Amino acid sequence: MLRAMKTFLQSPQDPDFVQNPYQAYARARADGPVQFWEDYGMLAAFDAATVQALLRDRRLGREVPADQQQPVPVHLADFHAVDQHSMLELEPPTHTRLRGLVLRAFTSRRIAGLAPEIEMIAAELQTALPQGPFDLIPAFCTQLPVRIIARLLGVPEEMWPDLLRWSNAMVAIYQTGRTRAVEDAANSAAADFTAFLRGYVDQRRTDPRDDLITQLIAAEQDGERLSTDVLIGTCILLLNAGHEATVHALGNGVACALINETPLDAFQPDTIAATTEEILRYDPPLHVFERFAYEDIDLDGITLEKGKKIALVLGAAGRDPAIYPDPDRFDPTRPVKPHAAFGGGLHFCVGAPLARLEMQIGLRALFDHAPKLRLAESPRYAETYHFHKLERLMVEI
């Protein structure tokens, strides 16, 4: 039975929404849970059941339908040259082949083997933390994952400021309210990043090392290897996705812990895994993931038409009271249940094990080093929706 489609009126750039989107999400779930989000110009799903189901529904995907593909603007040519080879924007069979090759290099054993390096970098960063009020985001949360992903890829670790600058400029293109200046910066960063990696990949072809780039070069499936362009696109995706979310999950997590006066018991070896999952459920760094419908799909009486997009609101799914009792309470002792912070289905984040490991080691190390860590000012979120991240996190030890 068809039902009337309700409209969700909420600007993602509204300052109150940026600081606390969860009240609006609750309102949407109560009225929906699938509504037309007018500011996005598409349907949006706000409940956990629908979000989880659509993440796994093969009738939807990230790849732009052939009849909707538009000419690439000249000022975004370099960005598109990278983006077109990104696993994030591809579907089977290309996605399946590429992800399979990446997973042959991005193994759980290799990720687990990074634990001592994560601990070493965390310890190094802790010794440099000042006593007075300081911003924890650049001092700790940013450097830990970007330096680890640099080591994993095999690029010089001292280049992390360049990697961070390129990544931030490229990722900004996915935020609401993007401008021509944002697009120009993203394109310039893509060009610079590509030029660096092209030379580095060529070097690794003749001088292999024990790093991910060398392993990606060597990875082969059914006699087929990655082309240089695809390898570059994959490395950029792994860097961008491999640190961006973790930086802000760390920041959001520390803020959650301090605001809610979380006991230090939550950051012990036997509890830190559950605390990490609660952070990702409660205040994830990515709030919206979009999908195209490849055929008409019935959503409990509302039709998602073929070729249209739907916004899967991951941030709302994590606060769904149908799955998580008292969802607005931050509770590290809560029984762990699946959440959507890393997506799901074919596009489940390939770097999720690394992100979890970095968060567990980083948070435990931080609170071990600074058990009296406290806020120096109230945290504020940046106007970067659909990313949900702090603009700064001023603390004192």
Domain of 128, in residue numbers: 7-396
d(CA 168, CA 86): 17
Contact 294, 52 (CB under 8 A): no
CA dist 171 and 177 (Å) reads: 13
Residue 2 lies in a domain: no
- Residue 352: name the closest of 271, 213, 249 by CA: 249
CA–CA separation, 138 and 352 (whole Å): 22
Domain assignment present for residue 145? The answer is: yes
Distance between CA atoms of 297 and 308, rounded to whole angstroms? 10
- 124 found inside a domain: yes
Q: Which CATH number belongs to the domain containing residue 71 in this structure?
A: 1.10.630.10
Is residue 182 exposed (0-12), middle (13-18) or buried (19+ Cβ within 10 Å)?
A: middle
392 DSSP β-pair partners: 380
Please choose, from the candidates 144, 172, 5, 119, the residue with its C-alpha nearest in 3D space to the C-alpha of residue 368: 119
pTM exceeds cut of 0.85: yes
- Looking at the 3D structure of the chain, how many domains does it have? 1
Whether 1 is in a domain gets the answer no
Q: Looking at the domain assignment, is residue 277 inside a domain?
A: yes
Task: Look at residue 120 and tell me if it is in a domain.
Answer: yes
CA separation for the pair 201, 216 (Å, rounded): 10
β pairing state of 309-313 and 42-45:
parallel
- Report if residue 359 sits inside a domain: yes
Would residue 73 count as lying in a domain? yes
User: Cα dist. 379→86, 143, 292, 322, 387 in Å?
Assistant: 33, 19, 35, 29, 16
Each residue's pLDDT tens digit in the chain (397 positions)?
456 689 999 999 999 999 999 999 999 999 989 999 999 999 999 999 999 999 999 999 999 998 888 899 999 999 999 999 888 888 998 888 888 888 877 788 888 899 999 999 999 999 999 988 999 999 999 999 999 989 888 888 899 999 999 999 999 998 888 899 999 999 999 999 999 999 888 888 889 988 888 888 887 655 677 788 988 998 898 888 877 889 999 999 999 999 999 999 999 999 999 999 999 999 999 999 999 999 999 998 899 999 999 999 999 999 999 999 999 999 999 999 999 999 999 999 988 999 999 999 999 999 999 999 999 999 999 999 999 999 999 999 9
